[in-house]
C-alpha cells in the first residue's frame, strides 16, 4: 500500500517547569509505538518530527496531550511509502529555536506582537495582487530549493543569524504588510516578533508554514521544492519526496556527476591530496 506512513511535524510553545520528567514521559510513550524521528523537549515547549503508522501517530498525539499537556500542537502532516528516519531520538534542548537576539527580544518599546495568517488568506491576498512583502526566514539552501514567487530572503545560513540581517530588514518597506514563513512555522514564532520589533506596521506568520500551503494550493505562487529535515530531503509541490542530493558541507544541490561534495567544496580537498 502506498503512502502508508504518516509523517507529522509540529511544535507547541509552553512553559515546561520539569523538563527531565517530561522528557522521560515522552520517551516512555514513544517506546510503546514503532515511531521513528526526533523529539526535542525544552523549557520553552516541544518540537517534534515523527513518522509511522496512523495508529501509532494518533496514540502519540493523544498521549502528548493527556499525559504531557501538549494539547495545542501546531501540526503539519504528510505521507510517504517508507519511514524517512533511521531511529527514534528524544532529547532535551535549552531552546526550541535560537533567539534572534542572545539576550532575548528587546522590551524597551513595549510588547511586540505578530499575527497568524492562514494559507487560505495568504492565497487570497496573492490572488488579489495585494502589495505585501513575503519574507523567507529559512536557510539559504532551503530558499534556493524553492520558495514563494517574489519572496525576499536575507541570505541566512542559519536562523540564529537573523539579528545580523537587521540592516537588510531595515531596507524593506515598513508600511506594507509583511508575511514571514518557514517550513512548518516554528522559526517564525521567534522571527516574526523580532521583525515586528524593528518598526514594521503589520507582521504576520504563515500558520502551518510552507507545508500547509503546499498541501492546499500546490504550486500556486510557489516554485521549486520544500526542504524537510528527514531522509526525503525535500518535497515537491504535491508533497512527494524528491530525495534531492545535497553537498554535505554547503548544502547546495549536487549535480548528477557530483558525489558527496559539490565542485566548489571538493576543490580544497583535492588540492590537499596533490
Q: Which residues are catalytic?
A: 182
Q: Kindly state the cell numbers that stand for 50.
A: 515523527
Which residues 6+ apart lie within 8 Å of 157 measured at CB?
A: 139, 140
CB 182 within 8 A of CB 209: yes
The partner residues of 52 in beta bridges, in order of sequence, read 6
Residues in Cβ contact with 21 at an 8 Å cutoff, skipping those fewer than 6 apart: none
Is residue 240 within 8 Å of residue 104, measured between CB atoms? no
Distance CA 197, CA 80 (A): 40
Report the C-alpha gap between 151 and 134 in whole angstroms: 5
Amino acid at each position: 500500500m502506498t503512502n502508508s506512513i504518516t509523517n507529522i511535524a509540529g511544535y507547541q510553545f509552553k512553559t515546561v517547569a520539569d523538563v527531565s520528567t517530561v522528557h522521560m514521559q515522552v520517551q516512555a510513550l514513544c517506546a510503546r509505538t514503532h515511531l521513528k524521528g526526533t523529539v526535542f523537549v525544552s523549557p520553552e515547549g516541544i518540537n517534534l518530527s515523527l513518522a509511522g503508522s496512523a495508529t501509532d501517530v494518533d496514540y502519540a498525539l493523544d498521549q502528548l496531550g493527556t499525559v504531557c499537556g501538549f494539547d495545542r500542537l501546531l501540526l503539519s502532516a504528510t505521507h510517504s511509502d517508507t519511514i524517512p528516519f533511521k531511529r527514534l531520538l528524544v532529547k532535551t534542548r535549552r531552546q526550541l529555536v535560537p533567539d534572534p537576539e542572545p539576550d532575548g527580544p528587546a522590551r524597551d518599546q513595549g510588547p511586540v506582537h505578530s499575527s497568524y495568517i492562514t494559507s487560505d488568506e495568504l492565497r487570497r491576498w496573492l490572488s488579489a495582487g495585494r502589495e505585501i512583502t513575503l519574507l523567507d526566514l529559512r536557510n539559504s539552501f532551503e530558499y534556493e530549493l524553492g520558495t514563494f514567487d517574489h519572496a525576499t530572503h536575507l541570505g541566512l545560513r542559519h536562523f540564529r543569524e537573523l539579528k545580523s540581517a537587521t540592516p537588510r530588514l531595515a531596507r524593506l518597506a515598513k508600511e506594507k504588510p509583511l508575511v514571514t514563513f518557514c517550513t512548518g512555522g516554528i522559526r517564525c514564532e521567534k522571527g516574526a516578533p523580532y521583525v515586528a520589533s524593528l518598526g514594521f506596521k503589520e507582521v504576520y506568520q504563515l500558520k502551518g508554514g510552507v507545508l500547509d500551503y503546499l498541501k492546499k494550493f500546490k504550486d500556486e505562487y510557489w516554485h521549486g521544492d520544500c526542504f524537510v529535515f528527514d531522509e526525503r530531503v525535500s518535497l515537491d509541490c504535491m508533497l512527494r519526496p524528491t530525495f534531492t542530493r545535497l553537498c554535505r558541507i554547503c548544502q547546495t544541490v549536487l549535480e548528477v556527476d557530483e558525489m558527496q561534495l559539490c565542485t566548489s567544496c571538493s576543490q580544497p580537498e583535492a588540492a590537499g591530496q596533490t
